[in-house]
Each structure stands twice: as structure tokens, then as C-alpha cells.
Amino acid sequence: MPISTLPLNDGTQIPSLAFGTGTAFFHHQDAQTTLESAINIGFTHFDGAQRYKNEATLGAAIKASECSVPRSELFISTKYAPLTPGETAKTALCKSLEKLRLEYVDLYLVHAPKDHTDGDGGGGGLKEVWKAMEECKREGLARSIGVSNFGVRHLLEIVECAQVLPAVNQLEIHPYVWDFVKPLIEVHKEHGIVTSSYGGLSPLCRAPGGPVDPVVEKVRARLEDTWGKPVTRGQVLIKWLLQHDILVVTTSTKAERIREYVDTGNVPELTAEEMWLIESAGAECHQSFFKNTKYCLEGI
């Protein structure tokens, strides 16, 4: 089954599952083989960032795979973070495109509001930054534009002056922060903004032994029995996110794990009770794992 898509508020479609080039690949320039493998296995959406310092590696993988998977079938995202003084969203994106060997990206995100609100990031305040993002879209450098790690306050600051609404907001989402991000997700729905998640498997890999674990294991066993094929705990949490219409960014250096992620769309759906049980267990232990999350939560 091909990876499903979600509609964006600008009329385009975005694959609901993305391969992240941060975390395991942060600053790595030797990840080309793994990225090529992800393309060949079936990932079409690749989530990058200027701050990850590996856009050239992603570009090389795209180039090496173009005979089997053309650029038109891929969805490439990157994120703006002012890495040098005076750098704007447009000048930074032009540098990214050169590294990626692309004429445009499918999605360009403002990486974090703190880069433009604490006086250290440069590039002006959020409203000025958003104007520059809109310019990138008008000029065809980015087909869609959005934000990352934005809370309600940050989003509304942009929305009140935007000619083009953010299409996506990417943030840490898993059961241990679910109760805290629900108000933000409601704002997303109000403005047609797709919620994108990273760190979705954190309860399993960063906080093993927590209250979510036994619930996920019970759901995993039920799904495996229903499907008649192996189901992993990671697939349970990815399925939970997808059933909330949340775009999932995940990653791995292992080919078998990458295949598992792509195959999640074939896994039977969780019941309404199973969804509730996972969320109830998550509410027992609030915990975030990424530093940018605090800026998002402060803005809720």
C-alpha cells in the first residue's frame, strides 16, 4: 500500500509519513547509503533542515536515486534557521537548494520561534520572517511553507498578518505530551494547518518502562493476532498518530526498521478504546524529550 497523503490548506498533498534526517543523521555527511535505501524501500517524503548540516548528503541520495525514483515523486522538506548573521529565509533557502541540488523544496518551515524572538537569531521578528517565507513561496523556491515548534501564541502572531497561512506545524508529539498539545492541535484544525510530529516513538526508546508500555504491548498483540502478521510496538504508536491525522516524521539507520515504518499503513486500525487507553496511559506521565518543545508549550 502506498503511503497515504494529507491535504494542505494551499491545495497540495503531503505524504503522511516522512523520513527524518535529524537525530541519527545530525551533522553526518555519510548517510547517503541509508537515505538511498529509504527511497528504494518506499519513503517519498524526506524531512531535512539547515541546522542538521547534512542537506548535501540528502541531495546526493536524491541524485543517485533519480533513475528509479524521479524528483517529481519525492516530497522534500527543509527548515530555516539563521545560521549566519544577516541571513534571511530566502538567502538561506537558496543555499539549501544548492546543497540539495534542487530547484525548489516542497515544504519550507521556520525551524523554531526562539530563533526570531530571543534577540539572538537575527532575521527580524516572526512577522518579518513570515513575509520572507511568503516571498519564497511566491517565487517558486518552496511550494508550501509552514512552521515548527510553534505554540498558539506564535501561530496567532503570524496568522494575524499572513497573506499565506502556514500549511504545517511540526512539533514533538507522543502520548506523554498529548494532553498538553491538544489545545494547539485545535488551533491547527481551525486554520487548516496540518499537524506534523517528531519524536513519536520517544515513550518506547527514551523512557522505557513507563505507563504507556503495557498498553502498547496489549494493542500490539491484538493487532498481530487480527492481521496474522508481525506487528511492532513502534507501528502501534505510528498508527496512533496517523489515526489522529498527524503527519509522522521518524527515522532509522536499519533497513528492516525502515521497511517496518513503510508497512505501517497496512497494519489494521486501532479501535477507539485502544486510542483512548494509549492517551490515558500517556496522561499519567508528562514528559518531553526535545529542547524546542518548551518554546512550543510556553506558547500554548
Contact 97, 105 (CB under 8 A): yes
| 198 among known catalytic residues | no
Among 52, 176, 261, 295, the one annotated catalytic? 52
Nearest to 150 by CA among 122, 175, 126: 126
Element (H, E) at 148: strand 142-148
Residue recorded with cell 522505557: 208
- For 173-235, list the strands marked E by DSSP: 194-198
User: Could you give the C-alpha distances from 279 to 144, 146, 238, 241, in angstroms and in order?
Assistant: 31, 27, 13, 11
State the CB neighbour count (10 A cutoff) for residue 298: 12
C-alpha cell at 117: 524572538
Task: Enumerate residues 6+ apart whose C-beta is below 8 A from 129.
Answer: 80, 89, 110, 116, 123
Contact 144, 108 (CB under 8 A): yes
Element (H, E) at 13: strand 13-15
The response to whether 188 counts as a known ligand-binding position is no
User: Cα-flanking dihedrals φ and ψ of residue 229, to 5°?
Assistant: -135, 160
User: Exposure string (b/e) for 241-260, b if CB count within 10 Å is 16 or more?
Assistant: bbebebbbbbbbeeeeebeb
**Binding site membership for substrate: which residues?**
111
**Binding site membership: which residues?**
111
Active site residues: 52
